Amino acid sequence: MDHFTCDRCGNGLLLDAPVRYEVRIEVKSAYDPLEITSEDLARVEEELHALLEKLKDYSAEKAQDEVHRDFRFDLCATCQKKFLADPLGRSR
């Protein structure tokens, strides 16, 4: 993301396109609110300990990927239209 080239097609944004678009993607762990019982708390404590053990073997980057990541991309007008039509790339 340098604001000068499209991160999807590589075209120059200042010379080849009158406008650029920014895409921000946030990927994070999501939990639904639950009615919590004491059994749930005991299970969560066990899972938390297991997760902490697992994270000991992870690099900082891999551990971060499990919880939260932000992405920012510059797109030209053509790529912006293609992104909006299929943001998850399902047609590929």
Q: How far is the CB of 26 from Zn ion (least distance, A)?
A: 22
CA 10 to chain centre: 21
Considering the rule CB under 5 A, would residue 17 count as an interface residue with Zn ion? no
CA angle 41-42-46, nearest 5°?
A: 115
- Cα 20 from Cα 10, distance rounded (Å): 12
Rule CB under 5 A: choose which of 2, 3, 4, 9 binds Zn ion. Answer: 9
Shortest separation between residue 1's beta carbon and Zn ion, angstroms: 13
Interaction residues for Zn ion, span 48-87 (CB under 5 A): 76, 79
Q: Work out whether 13 is an interface residue with Zn ion (CB under 5 A).
A: no
Instruction: Please provide the distance, in angstroms rounded to a whole number, between the alpha carbons at the two ends of the chain.
Output: 23
Among 5, 8, 63, 73, binds Zn ion (CB under 5 A): 8
Binding of Zn ion by 6 (CB under 5 A):
yes
Taking CA atoms, 65 is separated from 14, 31, 61, in Å, by 33, 16, 6
Give the interface with Zn ion as residue ranges (CB under 5 A). Answer: 6, 8-9, 76, 79
